[in-house]
Amino acid sequence: MIVGAGWSDASGTGPIFGREAKATACAWVDDHLGELLDWHAHIWNLAEPAWREYESQAWYVSKLRAEGFEVESGSGGMPTAFFARWTNCSDTGLFIPTLLTYAEYDAVPGNCQADATMETPRSGLNRFAPGHTDPHSALGISTLAGLLATKNAMEIHNIPGTLLYTGEPAEKMHGSKVVHGLRGYYDAADAIVSFHPFYMLPLCNTARWDTQCGAYYSKVYSFLCDSPETWQLSSADPHSPIPASHSAARAPGANLSLTTMYTMSRSMLDSMLPASGGWSFSDAILPDGQATADNLPHRVARVQFSWRTPDIEMAEHILKVLDRNAQAAALAGHCTVEERWVARSRPGRTNHVLAQALYDNLVEVGPPTYGSEAVEIARAMQRSLGVEAAEHPFIAESERLIEPQEAERQLRNQMPAWQTNWTSDDYVEMSHYAPLVRFYVSRPALASLPNVSAYPAWVMNALGGIRETISPTIVTAGKTIAGTFLDLLTKPEILARAKAEFESRAASEPMPALLPADFEAPFDLPWPDYRFDRFNGERRW
């Protein structure tokens, strides 16, 4: 037996048919739970990395078309993105709301884990293949559950409105939402619901209030040694019959430039920004066919730097440092440097009206609850790690609600007074196009034990793929989204107040987009990918 969350409509307000519509949506989620978990397992096992989510995107496109949505595949020029639309028409001549939510489905290289109670990669793959960590698989299926439950209730109760659903690849790089926003895909939305499985307290089973996510910049620097023969013209052996003798001094090349920039930038971290404020800096070296050792200069090497900051000013300062370092490193290696943006996101814009409306629905649904099967799975994991299994293995907060205002108070206690935003996620770009609420439902996570160090990463990854443990997240989030959508569709005063707040905040603090309108997603760079065996069709990492 899989235990999820129930829906109590005893406290519902507004039109009777609004409460009945919520009950209908709740029943749809319960009735289709087996299918939802099958869908989740499919996406979770695909575990395709950023910009390479071909099968995951194709599955969503096919499913949405089968459900009656008009779907644009490859929206915004991004092969693994999509844009879906469905309308329930009305002849009333009144305003018809347009509501949007979205799916994410990219996984993370190096996190391949089976849905098991011990550390082991998924069948046929090595441990360095991708796996879902957050997990985005549950994010997408939860929002899909809410979307389809809302659609079902709208049809049965004849509620007019339009539902939009976007497929957002490469969330780990803030990849697609910037592009969708610049291309106008969010312009028609009157409200947006953004969901993520919980992973950091106190943002557990709640909605963000004032403190939204901050700025995120990500850029790839490509060092190109296109003219190695000009490094030292006089170095060739004059007696050699080969003008470009292998005995000649070779240009330092692209790898030298990359490592120079990498070490220089890493050694300058304490000079970039103050040692407070919750900013972070990360890097990745992209493979580009340079794995042969020979007495030839490396022609191309690429490094990606990503940084998260509370505000744009801090992000811009890091950018200036990196750009200078890139030019110096290119000169040292006899290279030129090409710069390519991956993402450049603004901090988020809050909306109290939507946050309260959604949290009211989360209260009606109730927090996730873990049944006996989920508890025993968690206890088995603890035993596999050589520790005594706890009677209550899950984090206690994962089965509790916390009011947005209280979560905000606790969050502010952890932050410097001057800091306005915390952590990073690309939903922030969407918040500049329409009123948006960001909410969290707990994902399964084990409580810490006395005298035991932190759990290894595979534990949480596995819990995110096991049906019995991930089910409560999907059920709770799906019902909460459906209830919020149905309130916005049947209570026009909520939407009117949310839009008035959005317009007021936008006017008082304008934040124009940070990339040009014609910006193109960098899906063509050599991102990590699966390869398919042409003889048997199997995936190899």
CA distance 105 to 15: 36
Tell me, which fold does domain 217-232+248-345 have in CATH? Alpha-Beta Plaits (3.30.70)
Domain ranges of the chain: 16-213+347-508, 217-232+248-345
Which token pair is 346?
């603004």
In CATH, the number for domain 16-213+347-508 is 3.40.630.10
Confirm whether 16-213+347-508 and 217-232+248-345 share one CATH topology: no
> Given the DSSP bridges, would you call strands 98-104 and 161-168 parallel, antiparallel or unpaired?
parallel
Evaluate the omega torsion of the peptide bond into residue 202 and state whether it is cis, within 30 degrees of 0: yes
Give the per-residue SS3 of 217-281: EEEEEEEECCCHHHCCHHHCCCCCCCCCCCCCCCCCCHHHHHHHHHHHHHHCHHHHCCCCCCCEE
Asked if residues 397 and 153 have their Cβ atoms less than 8 Å apart, the reply is no
Which segments within 111-214 are labelled E, that is strand?
A: 161-168, 191-198, 206-207
What pTM did the predictor assign?
A: 0.93
CA distance 427 to 404: 18
Asked if residues 144 and 167 have their Cβ atoms less than 8 Å apart, the reply is no
For the stretch 317-365, pLDDT in tens is: 999 999 999 999 999 999 999 999 999 999 999 999 999 999 999 999 9
Query: Taking Cα atoms as reference points, which of 366, 249, 240, 342 lies closest to residue 296?
Result: 249
Per-residue pLDDT of the chain (541 residues; tens, 9 = 90+): 343 333 333 333 445 667 899 999 999 999 999 999 999 999 999 999 999 999 999 999 999 999 999 999 999 999 999 999 999 986 666 789 999 999 999 999 999 999 999 999 999 899 999 999 999 999 999 999 999 999 999 999 999 999 999 999 999 999 999 999 999 999 999 999 999 999 789 999 999 999 999 999 999 999 999 998 888 865 555 666 655 555 666 889 999 999 999 999 999 999 999 887 789 999 999 988 676 667 788 899 999 999 999 999 999 999 999 999 999 999 999 999 999 999 999 999 999 999 999 999 999 999 999 999 999 999 999 999 999 999 999 999 999 999 999 999 999 998 999 999 998 899 999 999 999 999 999 999 999 988 778 899 999 999 999 999 999 999 999 999 999 999 999 999 999 999 999 999 999 999 999 999 999 999 999 999 987 776 777 778 8
CA 210 to mean position of chain CA atoms: 20
For the stretch 484-514, pLDDT in tens is: 999 999 999 999 999 999 999 999 999 999 9
Evaluate the omega torsion of the peptide bond into residue 135 and state whether it is cis, within 30 degrees of 0: yes
- Residue 311 is classified by DSSP as S
